[in-house]
Amino acid sequence: MLKRVVAFLALFSSLSTLVCCAIPALLVSLGLGASLAASLAVFPQLIWLSEHKLFVFIFAGVMLVLTSVLRQSGKRRICPSDASLGAACQTSRDISGVLFYVSVLLYLIGAFFAFAAPYIFE
């Protein structure tokens, strides 16, 4: 149960880093500032995410580290010997791995746009 909650929080927080920083930067760089303004008018909570991006990134990073630790401890566990249960266990591990690496990728994209891109594209 804890593993599922931590994995969900890692994916959710990684997506929030993307929403707070990468998507607004992409919209502005493509000349779609009006779309960004309309999005902020509909979802004013996005402003809070942008204002507190350091906290968002720290939280997302901690969740990703916890997910990684839980994944490593889960790799040592043996799947059931029953064929259907063993296949379900292996499928669950494969999907979990894909979601973890997608979360890490989203986190890195968000971190680039939040912290590195403003200095690179001045």
Q: How far is CA 13 from CA 63, 69, 86, 107, in A?
A: 8, 17, 31, 8
Mean pLDDT for back-to-back runs of 10 residues, the chain (122 residues): 75 77 78 84 84 88 88 82 84 85 86 84 73
pLDDT at 87: 87
Return d(Cα 83, Cα 2) in angstroms, integer.
Answer: 26
CB 70 within 8 A of CB 2: yes
What would the pLDDT profile of 93-121 be if each residue is shown by its tens digit?
Answer: 888 888 888 888 888 888 888 888 888 87
pLDDT at 18: 75
* Structural domain count, the chain: 1
- Parent domain of 34: 2-120
pLDDT at 9: 78
pTM: 0.77
pLDDT at 1: 67
pLDDT at 102: 86
Residue 32 gets which letter from DSSP?
A: -
pLDDT at 79: 81
Question: Dihedral sign, CA of 112, 118, 119, 120?
Answer: positive
